[in-house]
Amino acid sequence: MTAKVLVVDPVATTREGVALILERCGFQVDRLDSPDAYPTEQHTDAVVVNVHTEDDFTGVRALRDRHDSVVVALLRSSEAGDYRAALTAGARTACAWDTSPRDLAMVVTAAVVGQTVLPTAIVEQLVGLMQDAPPELTVSAEDLRWLQLLARGGSVTELSTVVGYSPREVFRRLRQLYQRMGVSNRQQAIALAGIWGLVHLTAADERRRLSRV
């Protein structure tokens, strides 16, 4: 039976490009410009989502939870941190947007049958990231509080209200924290803090975080 795949991307050219690749590889493909336009009753074997921005990682989680879909994330970079963020957000697998048509078809096919295919180099880096926090990392009580608030969906403006700093100062301090953790954005920091046991999200926390996006 031909697998049915939905390609989601707000950019028409990239959406159509991915869809054509998958059609040529034998998939039955539908197209949408937004996950919100995906009918709840519609069934697909996999949803391929182009991740353009940091907020799109949260959209992956919302899409999977809303439709119980197998999600394949197409990433704009080949960094292990972005793979980790996609998997943490609920994607079954991920690959770089410029991967070859053959490899994209292989990744999607594996996802449909319940498997995850990742580049060996990415797996090696992910395993390295799943270790304990490095002993030289200093995370203050204030850092921990900020990470927990960020994980629950708090904005920089809300953080500034809580801690009494200007939004600009909060942003500067967060960037310093991200650098100490070895990550580049909020999603990666939350994911790594969870792996290290610094942040513990309950189901209610996760729903609140998603509802703020």
Neighbours of 54 (CB within 10 A): 14
Nearest C-alpha neighbor of 115 from the set 70, 79, 76, 84: 70
**CATH fold of 141-211, please?**
Arc Repressor Mutant, subunit A (1.10.10)
- Note the pLDDT of residue 17: 93
Same fold, 4-126 and 141-211: no
Give me the mean pLDDT over the 67-93 stretch. 84
Mean per-residue pLDDT for 42-63? 81
CA distance 92 to 114: 8
Q: Which CATH architecture has domain 4-126?
A: 3-Layer(aba) Sandwich (3.40)
CB 93 within 8 A of CB 84: no
- Type of residue at 166: S
Across 1-14, average pLDDT: 88
pLDDT at 13 over 70: yes
Q: Which residue has the higher pLDDT, 53 or 71?
A: 71
Name the 3-class secondary structure at 178.
helix
Q: pTM for the whole thing?
A: 0.60
Q: How does residue 211 score in pLDDT terms, banded at 50, 70 and 90?
A: very low
Read off the pLDDT of residues 150-180 as tens digits, 9 standing for 90 and up.
877 777 788 888 878 888 888 888 888 888 8
- Span 93-127, pLDDT tens digits: 999 988 899 999 999 999 988 888 888 888 767 76
Output the pLDDT for position 34.
83
d(CA 173, CA 97) in angstroms, rounded, equals 32
Contacts from 150-153 at CB under 8 Å and sequence distance 24+? Answer: 150/174, 150/186, 150/189, 150/190, 151/190, 151/193, 151/194, 151/199, 151/201, 151/205, 151/209, 152/201, 152/205, 152/208, 152/209, 153/208, 153/209, 153/210, 153/211, 153/212, 153/213
Break the chain into its structural domains and give their ranges.
Answer: 4-126, 141-211
Q: In what order do the strands lie in the sheet with 4-8?
A: 28-32, 4-8, 46-51, 71-75, 93-96
Tell me, what's the pLDDT at 38? 73
Give the per-residue pLDDT at 20. Answer: 94
CB 94 within 8 A of CB 87: yes
Q: Per residue in 175-209, pLDDT tens?
A: 888 888 878 777 778 777 777 777 754 433 433 33
